Amino acid sequence: MTERIQEFLRARRNEGQDLEPCLVVDLDVVRDNFASFAKALPDSRVFYAVKANPAPEVLSLLASLGSCFDCASVQEIQMALAAGATPDRISFGNTIKKERDIARAFALGIRLFSVDCSAEVEKIARSAPGSKVFCRILYDCAGAEWPLSRKFGCDPEMAVDVLDAAKRLGLEPYGISFHVGSQQRKVKAWDRALAMAATVFRDCAERGINLSMVNMGGGFPTKYLKEVPAVVQYGRSIFRALRKHFGNQIPETIIEPGRGMVGNAGIIETEVVLISKKSDEDEMRWVYLDIGKFGGLAETMDESIRYAIKSRHDGAEMAPCVLAGPTCDSADVMYEKLPYPLPVTLEIGDKLLIEGTGAYTSTYSAVAFNGFPPLRTYHI
C-alpha cells in the first residue's frame, strides 16, 4: 500500500467518514504501470482495457500519457472520448455487438472493430463501411487464473475465412487478436498464440490478404497473494516469440492491459461485521465483511483470485476462516472451498485492507443489491 493511500484512509477515519467500505486508487501507480508497459514492449501500442477500471480520473491520466483504449461498448467509447482520446486511439474490441451500436460507434469516428465470425463482419460492413477489422482466435488460456473461455474467438482456420469475407465486403482485414487469459502467470503463454497468429498471417497471404497487426490482448497479472513476474519479463518473452514466429517481418503489435495497469494501484478498506461459528464443536470461524461478491469482489467467484488481506493484527497467529459478504444471498461467500487464513485475534469492527483491488472491483458493484450502496471509490 502506498503512503498516499495510507494517509488518505487515516484522514477518512479521523473525519468519521469510514462508515462504508471504499476503494482507493493511487494514480501515481497507474502512471508507473503505463511507463513499465511502454518500456517493456516499446514497439507495441497500449490499448488500455477500459473495463478493468473506467474511472474518469484513470482514463484522463492514461489519455494524457498517450494510451489508446480497448472499449467493450458504446458507453466505454464515450467515456474514452470524454477523457480526451481521439477516435483513432479507440477500438471497439468486443466481438459481440448490436448492429445499432456499431453504427453509433462509427458515427463517433471509430474505425477499428473486433470480430470472430462472418455474421459480425456483415454487421460491420453494413454499419461501419470501410473500417478495419481484426479477427480474434480461440486460445485455451492454460496458466491463467481467470481464463477467458470459448466465448470469444474462432479457430485459426475459420479466421482466414472471416478475414476473407471482410475483404470481399469492402472492409480492411487488419489483423489477428487473441487473449491468453487474465492473470496469466506464465510469461511464455504468448508463444503458442503468436505461432497461431503467424500461421493465420501466412494462410491469409496465400489468399492475397495482407494482414499488418497482431493484438496480443491483456493477461498481464497483478500481485495478489502469490508473487508474479515483472512486466519486463513478459516483454522479453513476447519479443522472443515474435522473432521466432514472424522472423524479420514483425507486424505492428497492440497490447490491451487491464488488470496489469490498475490492479496494484487500488486498496479496498472493509470492516468485519460478524465473526461466528456454525456449532460449538466447530473450529472454523465465519468472518462476515461489509463487502462481498456483490459489492465489488465478484472475482472471488470460483476462488481463483485470492486477494492479499491485511489487518492491524498482522504477525499474529493465523487460522483459516470462511470469508463471506454482508448480503442475504447465500452465494455471497468469497472463500470457503479453500478457507482463508486470518489472525486468531481478529475482532468485530476491525478494518481489513484488501490489496490489489484496482481492477475489476468497482464496476462489479454498480447496483445497490440488498440496499448496500455501490462501492465508494476515490482516485487520488
Smallest distance, Å, CB 24 to ligand PLP? Answer: 20
Smallest distance, Å, CB 144 to ligand PLP? Answer: 8
Three cell numbers written together for 285: 470461524
Are 275 and 347 a contacting pair, CB within 8 Å?
yes
Catalytic residue among 71, 154, 321, 328: 328
Closer residue to ligand PLP (CB): 139 or 340: 139
Q: Per-residue contact track with ligand PLP, 166 to 185, x per CB under 6 A?
A: -------------x--x---
Closer residue to ligand PLP (CB): 148 or 333: 148
48 contacts ligand PLP (rule: CB under 6 A): no
Closer residue to ligand PLP (CB): 185 or 192: 185
Instruction: Find the binding residues for ligand PLP in span 86-145 (CB under 6 A).
Output: 93
Q: Per-residue contact track with ligand PLP, 331 to 370, x per CB under 6 A?
A: ----------------------------------------
Smallest distance, Å, CB 190 to ligand PLP? Answer: 13
Burial of residue 247 (CB within 10 Å: 0-12, 13-18, 19+) is exposed
Smallest distance, Å, CB 186 to ligand PLP? Answer: 13
Q: Per-residue contact track with ligand PLP, 255 to 284, x per CB under 6 A?
A: -xxxxx------------------------
User: Is there a catalytic annotation at residue 204?
Assistant: no
Phi, psi of 252 (to 5 degrees): -60, 140
Smallest distance, Å, CB 187 to ligand PLP? Answer: 14
Nearest Cα to Cα of residue 330 among 363, 300, 293: 293
Smallest distance, Å, CB 253 to ligand PLP? Answer: 14
Q: Which residue is nearest to ligand PLP (CB)?
A: 218
How far apart, in whole angstroms, are the C-alpha atoms of residue 137 and residue 159?
A: 7
49 contacts ligand PLP (rule: CB under 6 A): yes
Closer residue to ligand PLP (CB): 101 or 332: 101
Q: How many helices and strands (H and E) does the chain possess?
A: 10, 18
Could you give the C-alpha distances from 48 to 19, 57, 300, 311, in angstroms and in order? 33, 14, 23, 32
- Which residues lie across from 24 on neighbouring strands? 267, 378
String of DSSP letters for 197-258: HHHHHHHHHHTT----EEE--------SSS----HHHHHHHHHHHHHHHHTT---EEEE--S
Closer residue to ligand PLP (CB): 217 or 356: 217
The H or E element containing residue 341 is strand 333-343
Degrees to nearest 5, angle at CA 294 with 292 and 296? 70
CB atoms within 10 A of CB 297: 28
Q: Which of 219, 235, 266, 343 binds ligand PLP (CB under 6 A)?
A: 219
Q: Which of 54, 147, 156, 217 binds ligand PLP (CB under 6 A)?
A: 217
Which residues here bind ligand PLP, judged by CB under 6 A? 49, 52, 70, 93, 148, 179, 182, 217-220, 256-260
> Annotated catalytic sites, by residue?
328
